[in-house]
Structure 1
Amino acid sequence: MPADGATASDASGLDRGATSAAIDADALGGAPAQANASFSREIYETTAGAPVEFTVLVEGETYLLVGGNRLSDSGTSVGFTDVIRLNPAGGSRMDVTLNTRVAGTGAEYVSVSGDGEATSCSVSSCPGLSFNDENGDNFGGLSDLSTATGAGGLSRPLAPERYRLAAVEDPTFTVTGDGVVSPAASAARSNVLVVESERYLGEEVDLFTTMPGGSIDSVSSLRSDSLERSAVTKGDRLVIGFEAAGIWGALSHVANDGGGPVTAGGNASGEVLRDLLAEEEGIDLRIEHTNPGRNREPTRIDASVLEDATVLFESPEEIEAASADPSAGRFYLVIDTSDDNAIGERLDPGEEYRVTFELAGERGERYRFADDPDGPFDAASVEDDSTPEQFPYFATDEAGVSVETTFSIQERYIEYDHHTDDGELFADGGEITGTTTLLPATELNAEFTYDGGDRPQLSESTVSIDDDGNFSADLGLSGAPPGDRVLFELRDDSGLRDSRTVIITADAADPHRLRLTNTTTNFTVTREESLSSLSTTIRNVGAVEDRRKLSLDVADGEIVEERYVTVGPDAPRNETFDGVDADLEPGTYPYTLAIDGDRINGTVIVEDDPAVTRIDSDGNGTSEASEPDGNGSVSDSNPGGEESTTDNGSDSAENSTSSTTSDGPNNGTEPAETNATDGTESVDDAGSGNGSENNPPSQTPPTDEPTTFLPFGIGTRETLVGTVVVGAIHILGHWV
Structure 2
Amino acid sequence: MAIDAEGVAGGPAAVNASFGSDTYTTTAGDPVELTVEVEDGTKYLLVGGNRLSDPNAPVGFVDVIEVSGEGSTTVTLNTRTAGTGVEYASVTSEGGSATSCSVSACSLSFVDEDGEPVANSLSGLPSRAGADGLVRPLVPERYRLSLVDNATFTVDESSVVAPAAASNRAELVVTEPERRIAEEIEMFTTMPAESESDAGIEPVGSLRSDGLERSAVTKGDRLVIGVEAAGIWGALSHFADERDAGPVAAGENATGAVLADLLAAEEGVHLRIEQTNRPNQATRIGPDELEDATLIFESASELEAAPDDPTAGRLYVVIDTSDGNALGDRLKPGEEYRVEFGLDGADGERYRFAEDPSAVDADAPFAAASVGDDGVPEQFPYLSTDETGVSADATFSVSERYLRYDHVTDDGEVLVDGDGVTGTTTLLPATELTAVFAYDGGETPRTSEATVRIDDGGNFSVDPGIGEAQPGDRLTVDLYADSRPYDSRTAIVASDATDPDRLRLDDETTELNVTRGDTLSELSVTVRNAGVVEGREPLSLDVAGGEIYEERYVTVGPDEPRNETFNGTRVDLEPGTYSYTLAIADDETAGTLTVDPDPAVTRIDDGTDGGGTSDDGNANDGDGSDAGGTGNGTEPGSDAETENGTEVANGTEPDDTGPGSETDSGNGTDAGNDTEAGTGTEAGNGMGTTNGTGAETENGTDAENGSPPNGSDGDGPGTPADPASPALIPVGTREAFGGTVVVGVTYLLGHWI
Q: Return the TM-score normalized by structure 2.
A: 0.74
2:734 is the alignment partner of 1:717: yes
* Counterpart Cα distance in 1 of 2:10 and 2:598: 128
Distance change >3 Å, CA 310–CA 57, structure 1 → 2:
closer
Distance change >3 Å, CA 666–CA 81, structure 1 → 2:
farther
1:447-490 deviation per Cα after TM superposition (whole angstroms, max 9, x unaligned): 33344444434444333333333333333435444323333333
- After superposition, residues 71-220 of structure 1 pair within 5 angstroms as 71-73=52-54, 75-86=56-67, 88-91=68-71, 94-114=73-93, 115-130=95-110, 136=116, 138=118, 141-144=121-124, 145-149=126-130, 153-169=133-149, 171-183=151-163, 187-201=167-181, 203=184, 205-214=186-195, 215=198, 216-220=201-205
* Counterpart Cα distance in 2 of 1:410 and 1:696: 84
Q: 1:275 aligns with which of 226, 238, 261?
A: 261
2:466 is the alignment partner of 1:477: yes
Q: Are the equivalent residues in 1 in contact too, given 2:405–2:423 (CA < 8 A)?
A: yes
- After superposition, residues 282-431 of structure 1 pair within 5 angstroms as 282-292=268-278, 297-316=281-300, 317=303, 320-321=306-307, 323=309, 325=310, 327-373=311-357, 374-380=363-369, 386-429=375-418, 431=420
* Counterpart Cα distance in 2 of 1:37 and 1:688: 140
Shift of 1:248: 2.1
1:579-606 deviation per Cα after TM superposition (whole angstroms, max 9, x unaligned): 1222345566554432223333455455
Shift of 1:566: 2.1
| CA RMSD in angstroms, aligned pairs only | 4.3
1:131-171 deviation per Cα after TM superposition (whole angstroms, max 9, x unaligned): 659894645743343225457x3221011122233445554
1:650 maps to a residue whose letter is: G
Shift of 1:379: 0.9
Residue 677 of structure 1 corresponds to: none
Structure 1 residue matching 2:630: 3-state secondary structure: coil
Structure 1 residue matching 2:288: 3-state secondary structure: helix
Residue 229 of structure 2 corresponds to: 244
1:160-209 deviation per Cα after TM superposition (whole angstroms, max 9, x unaligned): 12223344555444545544344555655443222224444364614132
Q: Are the equivalent residues in 1 in contact too, given 2:230–2:312 (CA < 8 A)?
A: no
Shift of 1:126: 1.6
* Counterpart Cα distance in 1 of 2:115 and 2:326: 65
Q: 2:681 aligns with which of 677, 687, 702?
A: 687
Residue 231 of structure 1 corresponds to: 216
* Counterpart Cα distance in 1 of 2:313 and 2:356: 32
Q: Are the equivalent residues in 2 in contact too, given 1:211–1:441 (CA < 8 A)?
A: no
Q: Are the equivalent residues in 2 in contact too, given 1:432–1:472 (CA < 8 A)?
A: yes
- After superposition, residues 638-649 of structure 1 pair within 5 angstroms as 644-646=629-631, 649=632
Structure 2: 5+ residue runs without aligned partners?
358-362, 620-625, 639-649, 652-663, 670-677, 693-730, 746-753
* Counterpart Cα distance in 2 of 1:28 and 1:695: 136
Residue 574 of structure 1 corresponds to: 563
* Counterpart Cα distance in 1 of 2:416 and 2:377: 64
Q: Are the equivalent residues in 2 in contact too, given 1:134–1:174 (CA < 8 A)?
A: no
Distance change >3 Å, CA 343–CA 81, structure 1 → 2:
same
Percent identical residues:
55
Shift of 1:663: 6.3
Distance change >3 Å, CA 180–CA 290, structure 1 → 2:
same
Shift of 1:79: 1.8
1:624 maps to a residue whose letter is: S
2:329 maps to a residue whose letter is: E
Q: Are the equivalent residues in 2 in contact too, given 1:27–1:189 (CA < 8 A)?
A: no
Shift of 1:123: 0.7
* Counterpart Cα distance in 2 of 1:498 and 1:167: 66
* Counterpart Cα distance in 1 of 2:558 and 2:618: 48
2:340 maps to a residue whose letter is: T
Residue 542 of structure 1 corresponds to: 531
Shift of 1:507: 2.0
Structure 1 residue matching 2:334: 3-state secondary structure: coil
* Counterpart Cα distance in 2 of 1:415 and 1:664: 90
Shift of 1:339: 0.8
* Counterpart Cα distance in 1 of 2:634 and 2:526: 50
* Counterpart Cα distance in 2 of 1:626 and 1:722: 23
Q: 2:615 aligns with which of 625, 629, 653?
A: 625
Residue 733 of structure 1 corresponds to: none
Q: How many residues align?
A: 647
* Counterpart Cα distance in 2 of 1:240 and 1:442: 21
> Which stretch of structure 1 is more off in the superposition, 531-540 or 125-134?
125-134
Shift of 1:416: 1.8
Residue 706 of structure 2 corresponds to: none
Q: Are the equivalent residues in 1 in contact too, given 2:65–2:98 (CA < 8 A)?
A: yes
Structure 1: 5+ residue runs without aligned partners?
1-22, 630-636, 668-683, 699-713, 726-736
Structure 2 residue matching 1:306: 3-state secondary structure: helix
* Counterpart Cα distance in 2 of 1:513 and 1:29: 86
* Counterpart Cα distance in 1 of 2:36 and 2:496: 76
Q: 1:462 aligns with which of 451, 457, 460?
A: 451
Q: Are the equivalent residues in 1 in contact too, given 2:513–2:593 (CA < 8 A)?
A: yes
Residue 614 of structure 1 corresponds to: 604
Shift of 1:246: 1.8
Distance change >3 Å, CA 243–CA 666, structure 1 → 2:
farther
Q: Are the equivalent residues in 2 in contact too, given 1:68–1:147 (CA < 8 A)?
A: no
Distance change >3 Å, CA 664–CA 70, structure 1 → 2:
farther
Residue 530 of structure 1 corresponds to: 519
Shift of 1:108: 0.9
Q: Return the TM-score normalized by structure 1.
A: 0.76
Shift of 1:124: 0.9
Q: Are the equivalent residues in 2 in contact too, given 1:430–1:475 (CA < 8 A)?
A: no
Shift of 1:380: 0.5
